[in-house]
A and B are shown apart, each in its own frame.
Chain A
Amino acid sequence: GNSVTQMEGPVTLSEEAFLTINCTYTATGYPSLFWYVQYPGEGLQLLLKATKADDKGSNKGFEATYRKETTSFHLEKGSVQVSDSAVYFCALSVLNTGNQFYFGTGTSLTVIP
């Protein structure tokens, strides 16, 4: 089946620290992988995506590489800011499989000055 396992939170970092949020997946077929971010009181925003093995998605200083050999899509940022405080969801979808868009449990990040 399809599923996403995401690093448990909450995570608290100091400003300018390095961030890694782990995400691994299982999938039938060839999934696309996503990171969504949810700021307090808001909906989900697509942060980045990768649609095939070895693709690197990047946006706003965040990066994630689609690693088929380790079935992983870890989110990284070299220097976090207070404004990055949010909940981050890893997700996958498999084209034309009757939705199926699978979310991880979410990781809450708090960045302190």
Chain B
Amino acid sequence: DTEVTQTPKHLVMGMTNKKSLKCEQHMGHRAMYWYKQKAKKPPELMFVYSYEKLSINESVPSRFSPECPNSSLLNLHLHALQPEDSALYLCASSQVLGGGGYTFGSGTRLTVV
């Protein structure tokens, strides 16, 4: 298995909703990442997990809450989002932190209404 799987592919949520994005990989990678990508822009790093521990939080608002239940899974919990949070959310993994190239999932297209 050489993929990163993200669900759902599309999500529409209201500003008072709570939802979660899921990411799964079975490549034995020990580093996992959440990125946010706006249209026509490069991905922006949000969170980094290394060996299931939060390694980097790039000053992301608390309405985004990451969770790494085990080495294969990464969640992003969403609560009280704003319309400007609408974007493509990408999960990625790598063998170790910062090394070897990242494998990206196909993303979740989030729309906040």
Q: Which A residues lie at the B interface, using CB under 8 A?
A: 32, 34, 36, 41-46, 49, 87, 89, 93-101, 103-106, 108
Contacts and interface: CB of A to CB of B under 8 A. Distances in A.
Contacts of A41: 109
Given A42-B107, A43-B104, A44-B104, A94 B40 contact: no
Contact of A96 (B41, B56, B97, B104): B97
Nearest to A105: B42
A94 to B, nearest CB: 6
Given A43-B107, A96-B97, A101 B40 contact: no
A105 B43 CA distance: 9
A101 B106 contact: no
Given A93-B99, A103-B42, A44 B33 contact: no
A36 B107 CA distance: 15
B48 interface: yes
Nearest to B88: A43
Given A44-B104, A49-B101, A101-B102, A95 B96 contact: yes
Given A42-B107, A43-B107, A99 B33 contact: yes
Interface string B78-91: 00000000001010
B68 interface: no
A4 B29 CA distance: 25
Nearest to A87: B40
Contacts of B104: 36, 43-46
Interface in B50-94: 55-56, 88, 90, 92
Given A43-B106, A45-B104, A95-B99, 6 more contacts: A34-B101, A42-B106, A43-B107, A93-B99, A98-B98, A108-B40
A106 B109 CA distance: 19
B55 A98 contact: yes
A32 B100 contact: yes
A108 B103 CA distance: 21
B40 A106 contact: yes
